[in-house]
Chains A and B, each alone.
Chain A
Amino acid sequence: MRFLILCSLLFPLAAGPLARAVSTRVEPRLATWLLTGAALLLAGTSCGALGLLVLSPLVRMPWLARLGDWSSSIVAGAGLPGGWTSLVAAAALGAALLAAVAFVIRRARALADVRRHARSLPGRGELIVTGDVAANAYAVPGRPGRIVVSTGMLDVLDDRGRTALLAHERAHLSGRHHWFTSVARFAASANPLVRPLASAVDYTVERWADESAAATVGDRQLVARAIANAALAAKATRAAQARAGAFGAVGPALWNTASARWLFIRGRGPLAKAGPVPRRVAALLAPALTPRRGLPALAASLIVLGAAALCAILAADHLQDLISFAHASVD
């Protein structure tokens, strides 16, 4: 049982390679589902393993044994982990649960704020154009979701580029992409080792929206150029505004957190140190990912996840078996 628990605690270390392999090789929609599921599973099994470590000394307590009507001497003789291990596990589990609850509260507030904002935007149309000279565009999830685009952004895109932009943002809204990123972040808040998977989901939902925009305009290169030009223009206008003193130090702060997240899924090659935008552009310029090409990565990740789930289930099963055996011995 010690070995199974140790395995369950170590499996999240596979999050980094898993995130890299799936986000670069598997088709984005499937990759998003897979990575979000993987984040939940790995965080869940590792927290479950911590829970077993905390339970192990508890079930040896005579009062609990009396309460549950099992033999404490049999359980004590089974060599369950305990002592300092359990204390450390309890601290870690407490921290994980606290972080997860704090995350849920924060994210729920943010979602409520954004929903309110979506309602307060003028008009009833899906698209809102602001007279802002800075190039900016974003989707606001809500019922209905809204898409906000600045005139600065429209200026750098031509008709088809604009269509691609709108298709991209619509894909975010209709696919409810913020739920995927939120669930993956939730898992990462409970177990920081899972963070690479959450960063990868942030990336794959963008890829998903990019590919759906490409399907709408029927030209992947066009979408790649639209993204690249929009990003360059956004950077230029932001720099100009910072110089003119029109905007505060908001941009750089958010920027750092975004790139810091990205740190977790770096690979090799010319894009090794690239942020998400160049990666998206490069992915669109390269041939589309076929299901066949993603098959090895998909199979490997399913095997890893299956093994992680099996370890956790076996560990829990072991404890349960032991207790039912001890229970039977009392009778």
Chain B
Amino acid sequence: MRRQQRAADPQVPDRAADQGQGQAQLRGRETQDRASGLGQDGDLRGEVPEQGGGAAAGRRAAGALESAVLGVLWQASAPLSPGEVREKLARSDSAGPSLSYSTVVTILTRLHEKGSLSRERDGRAYRYAPVSDEAGLAARRLSQLLDRSADREAVLSRFVADLSEQDEELLRSLLGGASEEAQDAGTAGPEEARGRR
């Protein structure tokens, strides 16, 4: 776990930024989502759940790219420019060989909007650094806690348990049946995103 390594690494300067409380963050997100509607924002979002479906075999999905970019930035000791991020991504090979500069910029911008990255102006470009938000650190501490015993997992109630491959197929067929009946879906999830494409 790269993030955890970084959190534990004393050499890395802690850029703890005041993220405020979860409530405020959620409210902020909701207004942002409402403002942007289901435009560009929705396109990127829709890709995330599709990775497991095997539909995005050739193309790398947004979720994977985001975590790869975050991984590079968590490991870096100083803020990076998009060019440097791209270079490091190519070297670590964790994000595949050829990512265009503009793709990297898009991902960085999106992560910045999400509040996962902070940025500073450097000449004509920005340099990005991960925001080590308090909540994120706390959550990572918890996942470390969970690693140690299955009992802790039993005490926390997760919204959804892990799916097997069969479960995934079954869920997709159940969703298919349900979405025909009601169009006002309670989610901006996979089926909506696919419908738009």
Contact = CB atoms under 8 A, between A and B. Distances in A.
Contacts of B36: none
B26 A127 contact: yes
Contacts of A223: 186
Nearest to B170: A278
A53 interface: no
B139 A159 contact: no
B28 to A, nearest CB: 9
Given A138-B159, A227-B159, A285-B177, A217 B141 contact: no
B133 A228 contact: no
A274 B138 contact: no
Nearest to B143: A250
B170 A274 contact: yes
Contact of A131 (B135, B153, B177): B135
Contact of B150 (A109, A217, A229, A254): A254
A35 to B, nearest CB: 16
B12 interface: no
Interface in A170-187: 172, 177-178, 181-182, 185
Contacts of A28: none
Interface string A165-203: 100110010000110011001000000000000000010
17 contacts: A106-B151, A111-B155, A122-B19, A126-B23, A138-B159, A152-B63, A155-B188, A157-B186, A177-B157, A202-B154, A225-B185, A225-B186, A236-B50, A236-B61, A254-B146, A281-B175, A282-B174
B187 interface: yes
B162 interface: yes
Nearest to B163: A235
B15 interface: no
Contacts of B177: 285
Interface of B: 1-3, 19-23, 25-26, 29-30, 33, 45, 48-53, 61, 63-64, 66-68, 70-71, 94-95, 114-116, 131, 133-136, 138-139, 141-143, 145-147, 149-164, 166-168, 170-172, 174-175, 177-179, 181-182, 185-191
A251 B143 CA distance: 10
Contact of A158 (B142, B158, B187): B187
A221 interface: yes
Contacts of A246: 1-3, 67-68, 70-71
Contacts of B64: 240-241, 243-244
Given A110-B151, A277-B163, A125 B21 contact: yes
B76 to A, nearest CB: 15
Contacts of B145: 113-114, 117
Given A109-B151, A209-B157, 15 more contacts: A110-B155, A120-B138, A131-B136, A158-B188, A160-B186, A185-B154, A226-B186, A229-B190, A230-B160, A231-B161, A237-B51, A240-B63, A244-B71, A246-B67, A275-B166
A202 B182 CA distance: 30
A278 B29 contact: no
Interface string A270-292: 11011111100110010000000
Going nearest first, the 4 A-B pairs with the smallest beta carbon separation are: A229-B189, A222-B186, A240-B64, A123-B21
Which among A109, A120, A274, A276 has the greatest number of chain B C-beta atoms within 10 A? A274
B148 to A, nearest CB: 9
Which among B50, B67, B145, B185 has the greatest number of chain A C-beta atoms within 10 A? B67
Contacts of A155: 45, 48, 188
B167 A141 contact: no
A165 B71 CA distance: 28
A112 B27 CA distance: 31
A238 to B, nearest CB: 7
Contacts of A225: 175, 178-179, 185-187, 189
A221 B182 contact: yes
B138 A117 contact: yes
Contact of B135 (A107, A110, A126, A128): A128
A121 B157 contact: no
Given A151-B29, A274-B170, A276-B161, A156 B146 contact: no
